[in-house]
Amino acid sequence: MASPKHHHNKPSSTTKKKRRPLLLRRAMLHSCLCFLLGLLTGLAPSDWADAASRAANAQVFRAVRAINHTAALLQLKTRTTSTSYHQQQHQEDHHQLLVVTTTTGLSPERERRSAALTRTAHALRLVSPPVLWLVVEAAREAPPTATLLRRTGVVYRHLTFTDNFTSDAWEEERHHQRNVALGHIEQHRLRGVVFFAGLADVYDLRLLEQLRRIRTLGAWPVATVWEQERRVAIQGPLCSSSGGAAASAAWFSSSSSSGAGGGFIRFTTRPTPPLTSDDSVHGFAFASDLLWDPARWDRFPTTEPDQSQDSIKFVQRLVMEDYNKTKPIPDYSNCSQVMVWRVDTTLLLF
């Protein structure tokens, strides 16, 4: 018996020819789809394309910000005491200085006045800020001074007035100029320590830094030198120490001369400073908020209504009544160190 024959079905050549076009069509369709997808992606607005990435970035930024905020809170919590201490020290040592300078004089003294203003400006430039220089002058003489002040590099306010004074009334004019400056400070509530700087004054820079420690009133010795008379006078507070802190207990005045008639020294003391003239304000400074203190009006009797409006007279009375509360400057030398010199040589004592 013959064994049966197994017949294997092999694909015919016709079937192979039918499959090849199908595969080619699929590949072309796939390529076209990819091309269209890439084309649409390229033509689409960038906001659509970047929406997902921006959302992710936003989440990252929020997380980073939250971490930084948490770290800052922890750091602030651990350093609260130290920060408060440093802020207090900064406030104590960096009170604003309100430097008032009057420019009493007529046009013949213009050159000398400009030289004195330049010298004062150079001194104030060496003082650490904040410093505000208030220069008071008659309106008719203001333009040259305004040009000079713009070149000094010091923060300033140029205050002018239209009142007319004769040459013989220069003391009255100086008194008016100081009231103009104090009125400006009171009107604009400029907080700081008020200090009267004369154009004939020479300063130790340590004094200007010490003034920032004044909370109400401060006083210091002032030396006045007369070159032609060869005479020197010193006046200032006498200090007493109580509890380790120095306080003003009295006022002294000392003068010496080495003229042709022989030298002499005179020394006198009194309980309070003699504030009978405007020259005495050069040895004092005060906190500006005293000018708008409601208790100011209670210091003058009702029989003297005009006196309460005069800021200089108010400051003088305040010093006399509260002299025992005055802070001596500098406080580390027991009131024995002279840091201001008034030189009566070629410049007028403004």
Residue 34 reports pLDDT greater than 80: no
Residue 51 has a pLDDT of: 55
Residue 287 has pLDDT above 70, yes or no: yes
8 Å CB contact between 145 and 116: no
pLDDT over 70 at 87, yes or no: no
Out of 170-184, 240-254, 314-328, pick the least confident: 240-254
Q: How far apart are CA 335 and CA 329, in angstroms?
A: 6
Give the Cα separation of 100 and 319 in Å (integer): 18
Given pLDDT bands bounded at 50, 70 and 90, which one contains residue 346? Answer: very low
Query: What is the structure's pLDDT at 313?
Result: 84
Amino acid at 288: S
- Per the prediction, the chain carries an average pLDDT of 76
**Is the pLDDT confidence value at 58 over 90?**
no
- Strands, DSSP E only, in the chain? 97-102, 131-138, 156-161, 193-196, 201-203, 217-219, 222-226, 231-242, 245-257, 264-270, 284-287, 327-328, 340-344
Model-wide pTM > 0.75: no
Written as six digits, the tokens of 259 are: 């003229």
User: pLDDT tens, 115-124?
Assistant: 899 999 999 9
pLDDT at 82 over 60: no
Average pLDDT over residues 39-66: 57
pLDDT digits (tens, 9 = 90+) for 189-200: 999 999 999 888
pLDDT above 80 (res 131) = yes
Domain 94-344 has CATH 1.20.120.160: no
Residue among 223, 171, 226 at smallest CA distance from 201? 223
The pLDDT value given to residue 61: 54
At a CB cut-off of 8 Å and minimum separation 6, what does 140 contact? Answer: none
Evaluate whether 88 touches 122 at the Cβ level (below 8 Å).
no
d(CA 284, CA 268): 19
Q: Are 108 and 74 in contact (CB under 8 A)?
A: no
- The b/e string for 67-105 (b: 16+ C-beta within 10 A; e otherwise) is eeeeeeeeeeeeeeeeeeeeeeeeeeeebbbbbbbbbbb
Distance from C-alpha of 321 to C-alpha of 307, rounded to nearest angstrom: 15
Residue 327 CB neighbour total at 10 angstroms: 21
* CA–CA distance, 15 with 54 (Å, rounded to integer): 53
Q: Give the pair of three-digit tokens for residue 159.
A: 């205050």
8 Å CB contact between 277 and 175: no
Give the tens place of pLDDT for each residue, 233-247.
888 888 876 655 666
What secondary structure does DSSP assign to 276-301, as a single string? SSGGGGGGEEEEGGGGG-GGGGGGS-
CA nearest to 325, candidates 242, 213, 249: 249
